[in-house]
């Protein structure tokens, strides 16, 4: 037999021998999702009832996009999220305004809420 045909038969035989082995795939994880409980102690995580800021992405270009993830929802600067307007974003906090209430969500700490004050007064 020709040498090329022998190599082809050997390659096909090896492929068929390996074809019966089970194949498995890993689930894809979101690389931008922070670990569960980041910025909270175990007690705070259990007691927290307010919204949780998970991520902030701010474009370095002037007038660029400002996007945050709050409780799994993607919001942009100026959007409304659960009745509150996304009034401001910095690299580590988002300010939500609902009427006279101003709520500051931080990546590295608990939620601060000040009722009865306008955003200009704070």
Structurally, the chain folds into a number of domains equal to 1
| Residue 86 is assigned to a structural domain of this protein | yes
Residue 30 backbone dihedrals phi, psi, to 5 degrees: -75, 115
| Residue 59 is assigned to a structural domain of this protein | yes
Strands 84-89 and 93-98, by their bridges, are antiparallel
* CATH classification at residue 55: 2.30.30
Residue 87 burial (10 A CB sphere; 0-12, 13-18, 19+):
middle
| Residue 111 is assigned to a structural domain of this protein | yes
Domain that holds residue 101: 50-121
| Residue 19 is assigned to a structural domain of this protein | no
CB 86 within 8 A of CB 69: no
| Residue 32 is assigned to a structural domain of this protein | no
| Residue 2 is assigned to a structural domain of this protein | no
Q: Over the stretch 81-93, which tens digit does the pLDDT of each residue have? A: 999 999 999 989 9
Task: Collapse the DSSP code of 95 into the 3-class scheme (helix H, G, I; strand E, B; otherwise coil) and give the result.
Answer: strand
pLDDT of residue 50: 80
* 121 band by pLDDT with thresholds 50, 70 and 90: very low
Q: Give the CA diameter of the chain.
A: 91
């Amino acid at each position: 037999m020709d040498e090329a045909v022998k190599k082809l038969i050997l390659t096909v035989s090896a492929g068929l021998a390996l074809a019966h082995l089970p194949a498995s795939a890993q689930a894809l994880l979101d690389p931008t999702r922070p670990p569960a409980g980041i910025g909270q102690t175990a007690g705070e995580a259990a007691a927290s009832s307010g919204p949780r800021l998970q991520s902030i992405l701010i474009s370095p270009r002037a007038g660029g996009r400002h996007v945050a993830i709050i409780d799994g929802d993607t919001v942009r600067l100026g959007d409304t999220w659960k009745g509150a307007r996304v009034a401001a974003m910095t690299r580590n906090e988002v300010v939500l305004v609902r009427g006279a209430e101003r709520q500051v969500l931080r990546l590295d700490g608990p939620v601060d809420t000040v009722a009865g004050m306008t955003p200009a007064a704070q």
